[in-house]
Structure 1
Amino acid sequence: MENNLPRELVEKMTSYLGKEMSQNNFHLHREKVWQRIIDQFYKENKTEVFVKGTVVKIKDIGPVGRNFEIKDAQGQTITIYCQNIRIMKNTVTIGSTIGVKGYYNLYKNDYRHDGELQIKANEITNLEETRWDIQPFKEFIDENRKRHKIRFFAKNKNKLALITSENSEAREDIKKVLCKHYKIEEHFVNLFDVDSISKKIEALDESDCDIILISRGGMDRLSVFNAYSILNAIYKSSKPLVTALGHASFSSLADIVADYSYNSPSAAAYELNGLRKKYSKIRNSIILTLLVCLIGIWLIRQR
């Protein structure tokens, strides 16, 4: 019997076990794995979400932001990360009912070596201040408001009248997304002034535009879009009217009266672009079907 272990067997076994990992290269390996996880996570999770609940805990995490927790109607706890703590001011307090618009965020804990799924807040609304009983108003609009659909037939580019402010940051994004399928005319007004907005809607209703889009980001003084003159101008408009008022929760009556409503200017731009693409797809399908039928008829006659 041999007194030595077979060298080949030992080498094979050690190859299965892998190289010994020191503390340093273990952490290096873990960092690489985490980076792949994080990169893949943010690649697949770009959808904007809206959550609401009651604030149950607030925690300072230094100058880069703040964490707090809300409990939703089902009793589930959701962690919110707010990098811009200014949007928390006078809104996030223990016991307050809030709405949060943002994106999924994967927080890596360097101390526990694990991660936590959060919502990274872009906008926060105090729902207790913006909620009221609007059901009778909605029912009246549903019964009496004639909804206008956007018509694309026989149009190379629909003329879109964009009601916005001259210093709006979303203007260029809207134009970039819609310029291929829409001819955009900008109309600058004071979006905090009721008369300016309502008169502009009435004037555009008499123009040759095909669509009216009211675009305003942020959440400051959205109550102007509850003013009667604006609501009445939208109600009487004969043109398809779109609101994109950039709020996290339902907080303006203009959204109910409008033909189309989106919660941000960028969302409106992408949805309007999607409507045009959908029409183009259907149109091309019809043209192709007609072409095939005509070719078939021609071939039959040639026999």
Structure 2
Amino acid sequence: MYIKTLTVSALNNYIKKVLDSDFILSNSNITGELSNFKIHSSGHIYFSLKDQHSKINCIMFRSAAKELKFMPENGMKVVVKGRVSVYEKDGAYQLYCDEMKPEGMGELYIAFEKLKSKLQNQGLFNEEHKRPIPLYANKIGVITSPTGAAIKDIINVTKRRNRNVEIIIYPALVQGINASRDIIKGIETLNGIDDIDIIILARGGGSIEELWCFNDESLALAVYNSKKPIITGVGHEIDYTIVDFVGDRRAPTPSAAAEIAVFNLEEFKNKILSYKNTMSVIVNMILMEKRSKLDLMKKNLSANSPRVLIVNEYNNIDRLREIITIKIKRRIEKDKERLVKANALLSAHNPLNVLNKGYAIIEDENRNIISKVAVLKEASSVKVTLKDGSTEIKLINEN
């Protein structure tokens, strides 16, 4: 019989095809203990499953890892569903996981997912149904065990953040068969107290069995129908229950629930003081700016004051008066000179000056000057003006 020689890659590829075609290996449910658990930055999860005698390497891709309902840890016993195949590059077979759940809790997880899907389809998880959490609560109702660590944490956080906030504790069972009914009664009781602002539903961490009362459908409906906003602080950060989805706000721990419900008075005071200081700085800056503008306007007003203008115009008037005075004096002097010259000229041509030499001026009755003898002979009277005056002379005409 002739046996073909294979390459390493061909051999690994053949083994992969054989494993992939096997029905059992392609649809395996494997139980074991987690070890070497590692979440890669890519989101893929790498781990090993082991029992007392053997170990198998496993990988869960990111798409499947996002659907996990719990946080796996080394040493935890789990049931993994997936397929066995070969990674051809290394020639190593490993389990490719599609689902993972803690061992022995399959029925509880199935019930949890079934109720969660039902209530989600009914709209109980919708954001529009969430009641707003008051920012400044004065009275808080707490439903929890009176002896557990949760109530101590809530009281400590409340005292630290704001001693003025009053806590009303409704002692309730938070584990066991009757716990859900007890918590429902607590919600109804606290809803009947008018001045309660917020209700906290709290419990410390525990296994899924211990927290199972918070996955009750009747309790979910009571939380949904509560008139008061409800903050859930059940278990640790990785624990999720049905009431967390129905409640108005989920807190990872009871302490975190108290921090959400109780506003920090000291922080509030510091914030107000900060606002006050900021406002004071802003107001002072505005006042300084306005004062500077006012000073500038004052300076501009002083520089352009009518009083300054008037005072300056007084000086201008005095200057104009001096100029006018000088011009008038010059004009008077000039006119005086002209007058002297005109007087001298007039004196030089004054006919009266001729009279001083013995001449006379003869005028007829109409004050016409007679300069010819013929005219004189015709006149009946004349006026004769001499040096020292004038006189009327009547003439006797010989003709």
- Counterparts of 1:132-171 in structure 2, within 5 Å, are 132=114, 134=116, 137-138=119-120, 140-141=123-124, 142=126, 145-152=129-136, 158-171=138-151
**Relative to structure 1, is the Cα distance of residues 68 and 247 closer, same or farther in structure 2, using a 3 angstrom cutoff?**
farther
Q: 1:242: how far off? A: 0.5
Q: Is the 8 A contact 1:163 1:212 kept in 2?
A: yes
Letter of the structure 2 residue corresponding to residue 231 of structure 1: A
In structure 1, distance between residues paired with 2:284 and 2:240: 55
Match of 1:188 among 171, 192, 201: 171
Amino acid paired to 1:194? S
Are positions 1:252 and 2:226 aligned together? no
Moved more, 67-76 or 161-170: 67-76
Tell me how far apart the structure 1 counterparts of residues 51 and 263 of structure 2 sit (CA, whole Å): 41
The residue number in structure 2 matching 1:209 is: 196
Percent identity (aligned)? 25
Higher relative contact order (CA 8 A, sep 6+): 1
Counterpart residue type for residue 57 of structure 1: L
Kept after mapping to 2: 8 A contact 1:54/1:98: no
- My pick for the range that moved more, 277-286 or 139-148, is 277-286
SS in structure 2 at match of 1:185: strand
The equivalent of 2:322 in structure 1 is none
User: What TM-score results when the alignment is normalised by the length of structure 1?
Assistant: 0.53
Residues 241-282 of structure 1 show CA distances to partners (whole Å, capped at 9, x for unaligned) of 111111565652211121111233244345556887876665
Normalising by structure 2, what TM-score? 0.42
**What residue is the counterpart of 1:222 in the other structure?**
211
Q: SS of 1:131's equivalent? A: helix
Q: Counterparts of 1:52 and 1:186 in 2: how far apart (Å)?
A: 44
Instruction: Answer yes or no: is 1:58 the counterpart of 2:38.
Output: no
1:231 has 2:220 as partner: yes
Q: Secondary structure at the match of 2:134?
A: coil
Q: Give unpaired runs (5+ residues) of structure 1.
A: 1-50, 61-66, 83-87, 100-123
Query: For residues 26-70 of structure 1, what are the alpha-carbon distances to aligned partners after superposition, in whole Å with 9 as ceiling and x for unaligned?
Result: xxxxxxxxxxxxxxxxxxxxxxxxx9979851367xxxxxx9987
Write out aligned runs for 1:41-80 (5 A): 56-58=48-50, 71-74=59-62, 80=73
* Amino acid in structure 1 at the alignment position of 2:100: T
Alignment of 1:54-133 (within 5 A): 56-58=48-50, 71-74=59-62, 80-82=73-75, 88=76, 92-93=78-79, 95=81, 97-98=100-101, 128-129=109-110, 130-132=112-114
- C-alpha deviation, 1:165, in angstroms: 0.6
Number of aligned residue pairs: give it: 211
Q: Check the 8 A contact 1:222/1:251 in 2, yes or no.
A: no
Q: 1:201 to 1:70 in 2, by over 3 A?
A: farther
Larger Rg: 2
- Is contact 1:58–1:94 with CA below 8 Å preserved after alignment? no
Quick one: structure 1 residues 98 and 267, their matched pair in 2 at CA, closer, same or farther if it must change by over 3 Å?
A: farther
Give structure 2 stretches of 5+ with no counterpart.
1-42, 66-70, 82-98, 295-399
